Amino acid sequence: MIVMKFGGTSVEDATAIRRLVSIVRQQLQRQPIVVVSAMARVTNGLLDCARWAAEGKDADVQAKLDEVKARHSAAADELALPEERETLHAALRTQLAELTGTLDEIQRGGIVTEALSDSVSAQGELLSSLLVAAAFRADGISSERIDVRPLMRTNDDFMRAAIDFEVADPLLHETFTAQVNAGCVPVTQGFIGSTVDGRTTTIGRGGSDYSASIIGAAVNATAIEIWTDVDGMMTTDPRIVPEAAKIKTISFAEASELAYFGAKVLHPSTLRPAMVKDIPVYICNSRRPHVQGTAILSHAPASKSPIKAIAFKRGITVVNVDSVRMLMAHGFLARLFEVFNRHETAVDMVATSEVSVSMTLDDTRHLDAIIADLQEFGEVTVERDRAIICLVGEQMKFTPGLASRIFTPLNQINISMISHGASAINASFVIESALVDEAVKRLHKEFFSELDEETFEKVDV
Ligand code: ADP
Ligand code: ASP
Ligand code: MG
């Protein structure tokens, strides 16, 4: 069995879905399970609708709904067999009626609770999966659309729900194995799940990659394929550096760091389930399926390049605590971090000196309360609009003189925190968000002007 996940642009219209069908058709003997995202831009559009409904902007809601309906309905007309067309339209209508019902509820209440937000944003995947399963059947491939919600059990932390693996794993295993053994290609949704009492949840933006990996691990798949709009994992985001090169092979550890520090091509949690079962993950381009993608494996061959890729994460907040009391006080950091624990906020990077601690946060929902609590430790200052830049590579630890190669190109860019990960495969630092593009371009030039062809491949478009 293999899991094949197709992202938003890979299901964005009938043409993309036909490409998907032809990609999967070539893998039928490997018993694929297909996981889909919402059509490109639909999740954002649905979340806009939820907000507009609460604000009473009914005309905006209606216009966006009409657009979503029209896109799915046009794809249905193109994809479904004539005899299935009406059933498919009816299924889409039922799904859209559910969406309209939730939006009405939001409009009446004047507020988007996180639970209602999830009920709305989950509709994108529920709609796209109907189209994809119908497209397989129209192409003579036995296929069924499976609603993943009763299987993908989560807690009720809406918008960022955590999977209850003890419940989900056996359910996913049983359902998908039975489907595949019956000669069917199951098509299911990424991103969504449900609570024990059947309420719809989502597992965080970009979470379809993670869903694919959870399903892959549950069925002991031999591979997990992430089909997207780039040739693989690249030396950096090609939107910033168009000449970014493809990485042929990368280790789980390296790719996890990159995903965690902002390489959007993979949701940060994706590799965890795959690593536990040692399932290789491949990133491939659905628009150029003939191009070999990136293989993410437990071990990657040693590269001549100290750095495999540069990731960045914008919208970071730095919190500094200055305290003379910190001098020689044991237990100080433990008490300090207890504050973040209490407010359920993760700290990404930490730097300490004798009298100060600096920490970076991605999630600032509880920032005010955190600052209030931290004030008992010393003076608290906050820097907003920061970004983390992260360089990753397993050869880093064997490369003397790397710090000067990293920081010399960045002269005149003010660097506020530096951390060389304990794993020694990651070097990160903090700068102002507005300077990210410039810094990434300069670093990319420094490290990737000459490519080790064993590790990297130029992308010829
Ligand atoms: P999908 O909808 O298929 O999940 P995403 O938009 O979530 O696609 O992720 C793919 C995008 O990730 C690419 O278009 C690219 O701009 C971005 N990206 C950021 N960093 C990297 C990287 N290191 N390698 C490849 N793509 C990256
Ligand atoms: N559709 C969801 C999102 O836009 C999940 C995903 O695409 O992975 O966040
Ligand atoms: Mg994605």
At 59-107, the pLDDT tens digits run 999 999 999 999 999 999 999 999 999 999 999 999 999 999 999 999 9
Could you tell me the pLDDT band of residue 458, with boundaries at 50, 70 and 90?
very high
Domain count, the chain: 2
| Position 326 pLDDT exceeds 80 | no
| Position 16 pLDDT exceeds 90 | yes
- Cβ–ligand 1 contact at 186 (below 6 Å): no
Q: Are residues 315 and 225 in the same domain?
A: no
Which residue's C-alpha comes closest to atom 10 of ligand 1? 265
Domain span including residue 332: 309-457
At 334-381, the pLDDT tens digits run 899 999 999 999 999 999 887 889 999 999 999 999 999 999 999 999
Q: Crossing angle of helices 58-79/82-109, nearest 10°?
A: 160
Query: Are 340 and 346 in contact, with CB atoms under 8 Å apart?
Result: yes
Q: Are residues 30 and 169 in the same domain?
A: yes
State the CATH number of the domain containing residue 18. Answer: 3.40.1160.10
Q: Are residues 95 and 209 in the same domain?
A: yes
At 391-409, the pLDDT tens digits run 999 999 888 889 899 999 9
| Domain presence at residue 371 | yes
| Domain presence at residue 219 | yes
For residues 292 and 246, give the distance between their C-alpha atoms in angstroms, rounded to a whole number.
10
| Domain presence at residue 301 | no
| Domain presence at residue 161 | yes
Question: Looking at 209, 229, 249, which one is the last position of a domain?
Answer: 229
Cα 55 to middle of ligand 2, angstroms: 24
| Domain presence at residue 73 | yes
The dihedral over CA atoms of 389, 10, 114, 62, expressed in degrees to the nearest 10, equals 120
| Domain presence at residue 255 | no
| Domain presence at residue 185 | yes
| Domain presence at residue 435 | yes
Q: Are residues 33 and 157 in the same domain?
A: yes
For residues 279 and 164, give the distance between their C-alpha atoms in angstroms, rounded to a whole number.
20
Q: Are residues 197 and 328 in the same domain?
A: no
Q: Are residues 222 and 314 in the same domain?
A: no
Question: Looking at 185, 210, 229, which one is the last position of a domain?
Answer: 229
At 405-427, the pLDDT tens digits run 999 999 999 998 998 866 689 99
Question: Looking at 211, 229, 247, which one is the last position of a domain?
Answer: 229
Q: Are residues 185 and 317 in the same domain?
A: no
Q: What is the pLDDT of residue 205?
A: 97
Closest CA to 176 of 135, 217, 141, 210: 217
Task: Give the number of other CB atoms < 10 A from CB of residue 327.
Answer: 9
- Cβ–ligand 1 contact at 314 (below 6 Å): no
Q: What is the pLDDT of residue 416?
A: 87
Query: Are 315 and 267 in contact, with CB atoms under 8 Å apart?
Result: no
- Cβ–ligand 1 contact at 233 (below 6 Å): yes
Cα 330 to middle of ligand 2, angstroms: 44
State the CATH number of the domain containing residue 324. Answer: 3.30.2130.10
Task: Give the ligand whose atoms come closest to the C-alpha of residue 46.
Answer: 2
Give the global pTM: 0.96
Q: Residue 369, SS3?
A: helix
At 275-308, the pLDDT tens digits run 999 999 999 999 999 999 999 999 999 999 999 9
Q: Are residues 11 and 143 in the same domain?
A: yes
